[in-house]
Amino acid sequence: MPVFAIPFPVFDPVLVSIGPLSIRWYALAYIGGLIIGNWLCLRLSATPSLWGQRIPPSEALVDDMLLYAALGVVLGGRLGYVLFYNLDYFLLHPDQILSVWQGGMSFHGGLAGCALGLYLSCRRHQTPSAALFDVAAAVAPLGLFLGRIANFINGELWGRPTDVEWAIIFPQGGPIPRHPSQLYEAGLEGLLLGFVLILAIRLGALQRPWLVSGLFGCGYGLARIVSEFFREPDPQLGYLMGGATMGMLLSIPLVLLGLLMIWSALKQRTHA
């Protein structure tokens, strides 16, 4: 164990309280990610030079997407957690399935819910879905970064025990110094993946349908798998087959789907 470990900084998970109403950092991360992400989607859609001969999403479609994406992220994230991470408990306590305020969200479920929301939004506007999926994928790392920072502020989803010099003792993680895996994920899934997508877009990725979506799916899946080597698995699941975690297993299909989308996009003739 390290000679010196960093005590967990004193963060109040509640940003502000007004009577019985409390605004938490975690909720603010969701709201901020959606609102800022929507603004960035509008900026990308309004830059014709990035799209070549492709038709970008309309302003009305992007604005409509915000509601569908928000509902999909929240409902899908919760149902994903119920199905993948704690099904036995919720079968015994079905009345708590929708108790989102008690915690318990799954990124992979939220991603599936968001994808369904985007698809329904495109159906409503009778427009092809590739362009909307690509701009949504381009800004998704921002929401991931904010969400992981909120996880750190909440002192949840901490890492495995370690002896590195930057180990942190989390209040709810016992006296054992642990990896600040939330910050690792913020760096990999948020900053690094965001940089890769920005670079790809500058090199013309939005001119090929589904390329940015594929890069996001593959990039996130790989980043999550790497992060899981430092993250403490959920206690009700522990390690699964071969020492893998649920996060790893759910990310493998995402990597494969991303690679398939990249391969398909690069086979097409560019729309430049």
* Residue 6 main-chain phi, psi, to 5 deg: -85, 125
User: What's the rounded Cα separation, in Å, for the pair 243 and 161?
Assistant: 16
- Block residue for tokens 């994406």: 69
Which H or E run includes 7?
strand 6-7
User: What's the rounded Cα separation, in Å, for the pair 173 and 98?
Assistant: 26
User: What's the rounded Cα separation, in Å, for the pair 260 and 214?
Assistant: 7
- Find out whether 125 and 58 touch, Cβ atoms under 8 Å: yes
- Find out whether 183 and 230 touch, Cβ atoms under 8 Å: no
- Find out whether 72 and 65 touch, Cβ atoms under 8 Å: no
Which H or E run includes 23?
strand 21-24
Q: What angle do CA 263, 210, 145 make, to 5 degrees?
A: 110
- Find out whether 123 and 64 touch, Cβ atoms under 8 Å: no
Strands 21-24 and 14-18: antiparallel
User: What's the rounded Cα separation, in Å, for the pair 135 and 38?
Assistant: 9
Biggest CA pair distance of the chain: 62
- Block residue for tokens 């909720």: 27
User: What's the rounded Cα separation, in Å, for the pair 244 and 56?
Assistant: 40
Res 8: pLDDT: 77
User: What's the rounded Cα separation, in Å, for the pair 50 and 226?
Assistant: 31
Res 271: pLDDT: 47
Res 4: pLDDT: 59
Tokens of 100: 């989102």
Q: What is the pLDDT along the chain (272 residues), one digit of tens a residue?
A: 455 577 777 776 666 667 666 667 777 887 888 899 999 999 999 999 999 999 999 999 999 998 999 999 999 999 999 999 999 999 998 988 887 767 788 999 999 999 999 999 999 999 999 999 999 999 999 999 999 998 998 888 999 999 999 999 998 888 999 999 999 999 999 999 999 999 999 999 999 999 999 999 999 999 999 999 999 999 899 999 889 999 999 999 999 999 999 999 999 865 44
Which residue, 255, 256, 217, is CA-closest to 115? 217
Number of helices followed by number of strands (H, E) in the chain: 9, 4
Alpha-carbon separation of residue 173 from 13, 108, 167, 179, 193 (angstroms): 16, 24, 12, 11, 28
